[in-house]
Amino acid sequence: MQFKTKSLSAWVLAAGIGWVWLFPDHALSQTPYYQGKTITVVRGGGPAGSGEFQVRPLVNYLGKHIPGNPHVVLEFVTGAAGRKAANALYKAKPGGLTIGSAGGGVIPGPILGLPGSNYDIDKFIWLGSTEIGNPYIFFSRKEAGLDNLEKLRRASGIRIGAHAVGHSVYVTGRLFAYVFQLKEPRFVVGFTDPELDIAMAQGEVDARTTSGVDTLLRKDIAEKLDFHATIMNPKGKSDPRFANLPDLERFTKNETERKVIDLFRAFQYPRWPLHLPPGTPKELVGILREAVAKAFKDPGFHEEFKKVMGREPTPISGEDVERAVRELPREAEVIALYKKLAESGPVPPR
């Protein structure tokens, strides 16, 4: 019994010494660990895009919710659709002073084996996301005469517009074409969102997908379109404004096809995930998760987010992001089919 007591005392002493070594200011003076410090939020992309606009309001309100009120700054690291920033975060010192905001490209990278994905998403510590993904709607221009699914399936050579190979609009367009078994669809890429709208209006493309559902509800736009189906996001949650549209999963034939759609949903669900380097101490993780959660509820954050993004945020917690990552479909056949749909070339046969 005496031996056990001494062992326990030694363990407590060692733990105390370790704490003093890691956090000397906090341990010796009891001042908040973050007092007088600076937290750097590393944004995986350049300035002035959606990636900055969605995280900037959080940067502006995060510090006030952390004990010690640290200064919070934003740093930009461009390259590989955010994966370069994720690589840097993965190797960063786990002192709770560096937060990643690398965007939607971080999670798919290692799963799909994309170049430059030198990190393990299961080892990142997730703090939350400012938004979740929206449902994707597949629609065609009314002048194309494809006002129901039967006509859509009978038509040949439908021109489907998208931004670039691998973009979510491209992948969803290919998903709809694959599941609906469209005949020889042609994918026309290289557009921005405004350019794609113009191409639809001028008859350069016949169909496309979008997650910008608010725009579709404008009367001057909606009356020129035929809506066919949706990919709910998250699964089972339909947009009440498009409640009459069937979910694409309804048309799948097997578990692999269903899981491919689930994989796309999972990639989009934590739209702008925030993360810490592996090995960050649990106490700091708790402080930052709580601070992020409080910032997400701050009226100032909501007001600023809506001002720059044009919509309300739809934040989720770090635990929610962690769960979404853990539950990602990872079967080899699912990944293989998804990659074929995300790449160029003919749509694979069913």
Q: Where are the domains of the chain?
A: 32-132+270-314, 136-267+332-342
Domain pair 32-132+270-314 / 136-267+332-342, same fold: yes
Q: How do the pLDDT tens digits run along the chain, 350 residues long?
A: 444 444 444 454 445 545 445 555 554 457 999 999 999 999 999 998 889 999 999 999 999 999 999 999 999 999 888 999 999 999 999 999 999 998 878 999 999 999 999 999 999 999 999 999 889 999 999 999 999 999 999 999 999 999 989 889 999 999 999 999 999 999 999 998 889 999 999 999 999 999 888 888 788 889 999 999 999 998 888 888 888 999 999 999 999 999 999 999 999 999 999 999 999 999 999 999 999 999 999 999 999 999 999 899 999 999 999 999 999 999 999 999 999 999 999 999 99
Class of domain 32-132+270-314: alpha beta
**pTM for the predicted model, two decimal places:** 0.83
Contact criterion met (CB below 8 Å) for 50 and 110:
no
Cis previous bond, 234, omega within 30 = yes
What CATH number should be reported for the domain whose range is 136-267+332-342?
3.40.190.10
Q: Is 160 helix (H, G, I), strand (E, B) or coil?
A: strand
Give strand ranges (E) for the chain: 38-43, 71-76, 98-101, 125-129, 136-141, 159-161, 186-188, 207-210, 225-231, 273-276, 316-317
